[in-house]
Amino acid sequence: MWVFPKYVTRLIARGIIAFLMAVVFFACAGESEAKQEQHAEIAASGVDVQGAAINDDTVIGAYLLLKDALVKSDAEESKRRATTLAERLAAAENAAASELQASVQAFVASKNLKEQRQHFFTLSNAMIAFVEAGGKAPGALYVQHCPMAFDFTGADWISNTREIRNPYFGDEMLTCGFVKSELAMAKSTDSLSQ
C-alpha cells in the first residue's frame, strides 16, 4: 500500500478542487454564452420580446432600431438607422424634435462604433427628456441604465422591453444594466409617433 506524504495529499486535493471549480466555471460560462447568443438573435430580428415588430416609420421606432443596431455592434447599420431617425425628426416639425436633430447629426458624422456610442449617450439623454416632457409613444417604454459605460460614469437609453440589451457594450456585456424607470405612454399620433 502506498502512503503519500501530507503535502502530496494536499496538493492532489487542491488540484481536484481547482479542476472541479474550472468545470463549474466553464459550464456556467457556456450557459451564459448561449443566453447571450439568444439575446443577440432577438436583437437582430427587429422584434421585441412580446413579439411586436418595431418599425422605423416613427421617431421612437427609428430610435429603437438604432439602439438595436448598436446592440449588434454594427456601425454601418447604426449609421443607416441614425439617418432614418434624422428623417423622422425632420418630419416631426416641432422644437423638441429639432433639438434632437443636432444629436442625430453628430451621430451620423461619427467615424466609428466608439464615437457612435458616445453620440448615442447624448442622443438618449435628449430623447429621454423629450419623452418625459410629454412626447407620446405607442406603449410602455423603459429607461435603462448601464453603470459601467464610459469608465463607470454610467449611461441611459430607452427600450421598449424590460429585458436589458446594452447598446454601449453590445455583445461584450449584453445584459449589463437595469431598468431605471418606466415611461408609460398613451398611444398617440403626435410628437414621437410622427
Per-residue pLDDT band for 74 (boundaries 50, 70, 90) equals very high
pLDDT at 29: 45
In a domain, 57, yes or no: yes
Of the ranges 44-48, 129-133, 146-150, which is most confident? 146-150
Cβ(40)–Cβ(72) below 8 Å: yes
Domain that holds residue 65: 46-193
Q: What are the residues whose beta carbons fall under 8 Å from the beta carbon of 125, sequence distance 6 or more?
A: 156
Per-residue pLDDT band for 97 (boundaries 50, 70, 90) equals confident
Q: Is the pLDDT of residue 56 over 90?
A: no
Higher pLDDT, residue 16 or 38 = 16
Q: What are the residues whose beta carbons fall under 8 Å from the beta carbon of 173, sequence distance 6 or more?
A: 146, 148, 166
Using one digit for the tens of pLDDT, what is the confidence trace for 99-117?
788 899 999 999 999 999 9
Cβ(178)–Cβ(143) below 8 Å: no
Per-residue pLDDT band for 23 (boundaries 50, 70, 90) equals low
In a domain, 23, yes or no: no
Per-residue pLDDT band for 59 (boundaries 50, 70, 90) equals confident
Per-residue pLDDT band for 6 (boundaries 50, 70, 90) equals confident
Q: What are the residues whose beta carbons fall under 8 Å from the beta carbon of 46, sequence distance 6 or more?
A: 53, 54, 65, 68
pLDDT at 192: 47
In a domain, 128, yes or no: yes
Measured distance CA(113)–CA(121) in Å, rounded = 12
Measured distance CA(147)–CA(161) in Å, rounded = 19
In a domain, 143, yes or no: yes
Higher pLDDT, residue 115 or 54 = 115
β-sheet bridge partners, residue 145: 156, 178
Q: Is the pLDDT of residue 8 over 80?
A: no
In a domain, 120, yes or no: yes
- Which of 13-22, 42-51, 109-118, 148-157 comes out lowest in average pLDDT? 42-51
In a domain, 188, yes or no: yes
Per-residue pLDDT band for 41 (boundaries 50, 70, 90) equals very low
pLDDT at 92: 75
In a domain, 166, yes or no: yes
Average pLDDT over the chain, rounded to whole? 78
Instruction: For the beta carbon of residue 99, count every other beta carbon within 10 angstroms.
Output: 13
Q: Work out how many domains the chain is built from and give that number.
A: 1
Measured distance CA(188)–CA(135) in Å, rounded = 9
Grid coordinates given for 82:
441614425
In a domain, 21, yes or no: no
